[in-house]
Amino acid sequence: MDNAYIPFPSKVLEVIKHTETEYTFRLEFSGDVKPGQFFEVSIPKYGEAPISVSGIGENFVDLTIRRVGVVTNEVFEKYVGDTLLLRGPYGNGFDVDLYNQGETVVIAGGTGVSPVRGVIDALSKSDDPQNKYAIVGFRSPDHMLFRDDLKVWDEKLNLTVTVDGADEGYQGKIGLVTKYIPDLPIKDVNTAKAVVVGPPAMMKFSVMGLLDKGFKEENIWVSQERRMCCGLGKCGHCRIGEKYVCIDGPVFNYTESKGLID
Amino acid sequence: MGLDVNAKKMMKNAFRVSKVRGETASRVRIPGGLIDAKSLAKVTEIAEKYGNGNIFITNRQGIEIPGIKWEDVDAVKEELQSIIDAIGTNQVDDETGYPASGTRNVVACPGARLCPFGCYDTTEFAHKMEDVIFPNNRHVKIAFTGCSNDCGKVRMDDIGVMGMTEPQYDPDRCIACEQCVKWCKKRSVGALSMVNGKVYRDPDLCIGCGVCVHYCPTRAWTRSKEHYFRVVLLGRTGKVNPRLAEDFAKWLDEDSILKMGHNLYAYIEDYISKDAPNGKEHVGYIVDRTGFETFYKYLMKDVTPGPKAEIATTMYWGGKRYDRSNNLK
Amino acid sequence: MGFVMNQEEFSKTIENLSKNYRLYAPVIKKGEGRCLDEDIVRYDFVTKAEEIELELKSDYSFKEILLPLSETLFFFTENETKVADKNTSDVLVFLRSCDLHGLRRLDDMYLRNGKEKDFFYSRIREHVQFVLIGCPHSYKDCFCVDMGANKIDEGYVFTIEPKGDGFASEIKDDDFTKYFVGQSEHVKVSYVTENETKVNVPNNVPLSIYKSDFWREYDARCIACGRCTIVCPTCTCFTMQDTFYDPNGKVGERRRVNASCMIDGYTNVAGGGEYRKPHGQRMRFKVLHKIKDYKARFGYNMCVGCGRCDMVCPEYISFSTLINKLDDQIKKEAE
pLDDT (tens digit per residue) in B78-118: 999 999 999 999 998 888 999 999 999 999 999 999 999 99
Q: Is B219 on the interface with C (CB under 8 A)?
A: yes
Angle in degrees, CA B325, B326, B329, rounded to 5: 95
- Minimum-distance CB partner of C36 among B119, B171, B219: B119
C34 and B116 in contact by Cβ < 8 A? yes
Return the SS3 of B303.
coil
The answer to whether residues B184 and B200 touch, using CB atoms and an 8 Å cutoff, is no
Given A90, A109, A125, the domain boundary residue is A90
- The CATH number assigned to the domain holding A139 equals 3.40.50.80
The answer to whether residues B148 and B181 belong to one domain is: no
C113 and A227 in contact by Cβ < 8 A? no
Task: Answer whether residue A1 is part of any domain.
Answer: no
Give the distance, in angstroms, between the CA of residue B158 and the centroid of all CA atoms in the same chain: 8
Task: Answer whether residue B324 is part of any domain.
Answer: no
When pLDDT is averaged across residues C103-132 and rounded to a whole number, the result is 96
Q: Is A73 on the interface with C (CB under 8 A)?
A: no
How far lies C209's CA from each of C204, C216, C256, in Å? 10, 12, 33
In terms of phi and psi (left: phi > 0; alpha: psi -120 to 50; beta: otherwise), the region of A198 is left
Provide, for chain C, the percentages of residues in helix, strand and coil under a 3-state DSSP scheme, each rounded to the nearest 5: 35, 20, 45
Q: What kind and span of H or E run contains A200?
A: helix A200-213
Buried b (16+ CB within 10 A) or exposed e, B142-153: bbbbbbbbbebb
Angle of the C279-288 helix axis to the C319-334 helix axis, nearest 10: 90
- Minimum-distance CB partner of A237 among C114, C253, C266: C266
- The CATH number assigned to the domain holding B218 equals 3.30.70.20
C238 and A236 in contact by Cβ < 8 A? yes
Alpha-helical segments (H) within chain B:
7-12, 37-49, 73-87, 122-133, 179-187, 211-215, 254-271, 283-290, 292-299
The answer to whether residues B271 and B294 belong to one domain is: yes
Q: Is B306 on the interface with C (CB under 8 A)?
A: no
The answer to whether residues B31 and B119 belong to one domain is: no
- The count of residues in chain A is 262
When pLDDT is averaged across residues B265-285 and rounded to a whole number, the result is 92
Angle of the B254-271 helix axis to the B283-290 helix axis, nearest 10: 70
pTM of the full structure: 0.93
Q: Is B217 on the interface with C (CB under 8 A)?
A: yes
For residue B193, give every residue at least 6 positions away whose Cβ sits within 8 Å of its Cβ, in sequence order, or none: B181, B199, B200, B202
The answer to whether residues A137 and A191 belong to one domain is: yes
Task: Answer whether residue C97 is part of any domain.
Answer: yes
- Name the residue type at position B153: K
- Minimum-distance CB partner of A45 among C114, C244, C297: C244
Can you tell me the distance from the alpha carbon of C225 to that of C266, in angstroms, rounded to the nearest whole number?
A: 12
Half-sphere exposure of B287 (CA within 13 A, CB side): 23
When pLDDT is averaged across residues C201-217 and rounded to a whole number, the result is 93
Task: Answer whether residue B93 is part of any domain.
Answer: no
Tally of domains within chain B:
3
Give the distance, in angstroms, between the CA of residue C144 and the centroid of all CA atoms in the same chain: 13
Domain region containing C115:
2-185
Chain C residue with minimum CA distance to A73: C270
- Minimum-distance CB partner of C269 among A2, A227, A261: A227
The answer to whether residues B304 and B258 belong to one domain is: yes
Q: Tens-digit pLDDT profile for chain A (262 aa)?
A: 789 999 999 999 999 988 888 899 999 999 999 999 999 999 888 899 999 999 999 999 999 998 888 888 888 888 888 899 999 999 999 999 888 889 999 999 988 899 999 999 999 999 899 999 999 999 999 888 898 899 999 999 999 999 998 888 898 899 999 999 999 999 999 999 999 999 889 999 999 999 999 999 999 999 988 888 899 999 999 999 999 999 998 999 999 999 888 8
List the one residue out of A251, A222, A225 whose CA is nearest residue A238: A225
The answer to whether residues A58 and A112 belong to one domain is: no
Can you tell me the distance from the alpha carbon of C11 to that of C7, in angstroms, rounded to the nearest whole number?
A: 6
pLDDT of residue B249: 98
pLDDT of residue A254: 96
Q: Is A90 on the interface with C (CB under 8 A)?
A: no
The answer to whether residues B282 and B172 belong to one domain is: no
The answer to whether residues A28 and A127 belong to one domain is: no
The answer to whether residues A164 and A60 belong to one domain is: no
The answer to whether residues C246 and C325 belong to one domain is: yes
Probe site for chain B from C28, C30, C36, C45 (most B CB atoms < 10 A): C36
Task: Answer whether residue C202 is part of any domain.
Answer: no
Probe site for chain C from A2, A6, A45 (most C CB atoms < 10 A): A45
Tally of domains within chain C:
2
The answer to whether residues C29 and C149 belong to one domain is: yes
Answer whether the bond into residue B66 is a cis peptide, omega within 30°: no
In terms of phi and psi (left: phi > 0; alpha: psi -120 to 50; beta: otherwise), the region of A4 is alpha
Percent of chain B with pLDDT over 90: 94
When pLDDT is cut at 50, 70 and 90, the band that residue B44 belongs to is very high
When pLDDT is cut at 50, 70 and 90, the band that residue B218 belongs to is very high
When pLDDT is averaged across residues C301-309 and rounded to a whole number, the result is 97
The answer to whether residues C296 and C288 touch, using CB atoms and an 8 Å cutoff, is no
The answer to whether residues A100 and A221 belong to one domain is: yes
Q: How far apart, in Å, do the first and last CA atoms of chain B sit? A: 56
Nearest CA distance, B142 vs chain C (angstrom):
23
List the one residue out of B26, B41, B130 whose CA is nearest residue B72: B26
Domain region containing B252:
107-164+227-311
Half-sphere exposure of C68 (CA within 13 A, CB side): 19
Given A90, A123, A149, the domain boundary residue is A90
List the one residue out of A260, A255, A161 whose CA is nearest residue A217: A255
The answer to whether residues A122 and A242 belong to one domain is: yes
Q: Is B120 on the interface with C (CB under 8 A)?
A: yes
- Minimum-distance CB partner of A242 among C74, C256, C296: C296
The answer to whether residues C49 and C86 belong to one domain is: yes
The answer to whether residues A237 and A129 belong to one domain is: yes
Chain A residue with minimum CA distance to C247: A45
Chains contacting C (3+ CB pairs below 8 angstroms): A, B
For residue C121, give every residue at least 6 positions away whose Cβ sits within 8 Å of its Cβ, in sequence order, or none: A234, C66, C67, C106, C110, C111
Tally of domains within chain A:
2
pLDDT value at B165 more than 90: yes
Task: Answer whether residue B71 is part of any domain.
Answer: yes
The answer to whether residues C30 and C118 belong to one domain is: yes
Domain region containing A78:
8-90
pLDDT value at C248 more than 80: no
